[in-house]
Structure formats: C-alpha cells, structure tokens
C-alpha cells in the first residue's frame, strides 16, 4: 500500500499552519509531539480521521504532502483496526507540501471533503 500512495494528508488548525509557514517546517500538534511522530492519513482514511479527531472544530487546514519527498522518516504503521497509517518521525519540511487549503467546517455534523489524490 505505502508504495502506491503518493499523497498523504494532515489536518491542523489554521494558526498552527500559519506558524509552520513562517518557520519553514511543521513540527506537529500536541498529540503528535506526545506520540513522537506526526500523524497523517491517506485519502481513503481522511474522512474517518476528520470525524474522529476533529469533530466540532473549525478554522482547520488540509495539507497535502508528497510522501516520496519524506524519505526514510515516513513509516507506515498499524493504527485504527490494524490499518497502516503514515507517521512522520521528523518535522514536515514545507518543500514536501503540494498544497494547503482551508478545510470546510461541518454541516449538520458532517464535514465535506474536497476531491483528493489517492
């Protein structure tokens, strides 16, 4: 699976992303720092991640990252239900970011997601 996935995704607060842009790298959210790696999702995992970890939150960014640009710091490890999730054991360099866009807020408890690269 990991070899075929070229784009991975990170959801984060807009102010944290703006700070990353100013610093030149994203160092992760508090949960990332606690776990020792930055959590990412594939396109197929993103809706569940948004619902589970970002329900009710607004002013979020969706960041698309070129997985191949992360070299050996990216590991695919089992998480929810044993599925493999991408975990980055380093800061995210902005040079690996394909794009960053505002993530729509929830509407009636559901968050619309943009069309994504698988």
Residue 4 banded pLDDT, cuts 50, 70, 90: low
Q: What does the DSSP assignment read for 46-106? A: HHHHHHHHSTT--SEEEEEEEGGGGGGGEEEEE-GGG-EEEEESS-EEGGGEEEEEEEPPP
Output the domain CATH number for residue 90. 3.20.170.20
Instruction: Judge whether 59 lies within some domain.
Output: yes
This prediction has a pTM of: 0.91
Instruction: Judge whether 63 lies within some domain.
Output: yes
At 84-111, the pLDDT tens digits run: 999 999 999 999 999 999 999 988 888 8
> Which residue range forms the structural domain that includes residue 66?
7-103
75 Cβ contact partners less than 8 Å away, ≥ 6 residues apart: 37, 86, 87, 88, 89
Instruction: Judge whether 114 lies within some domain.
Output: no
Instruction: Determine the pLDDT at residue 118.
Output: 55
Q: Of 49, 52, 50, 63, give the one whose Cα is nearest residue 14.
A: 63
| Distance, CA of 89 to CA of 7 (rounded, Å) | 17
| Distance, CA of 64 to CA of 80 (rounded, Å) | 21
At 69-87, the pLDDT tens digits run: 998 899 999 987 888 999 9
């Amino acid at each position: 699976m990991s070899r075929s996935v070229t784009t991975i995704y990170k959801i984060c607060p807009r102010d944290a992303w703006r700070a990353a842009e100013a610093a030149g790298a994203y160092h992760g959210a508090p949960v990332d720092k606690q776990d020792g790696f930055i959590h990412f999702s594939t396109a197929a995992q993103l809706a569940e991640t948004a619902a589970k970890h970002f329900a009710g939150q607004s002013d979020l960014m969706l960041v698309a990252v070129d997985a191949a640009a992360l070299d050996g710091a990216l590991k695919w490890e089992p998480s929810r239900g044993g599925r493999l999730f991408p975990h980055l054991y380093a800061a995210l360099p902005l040079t690996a970011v394909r794009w960053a866009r505002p993530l729509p807020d929830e509407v009636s408890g559901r968050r619309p997601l943009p069309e994504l690269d698988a």
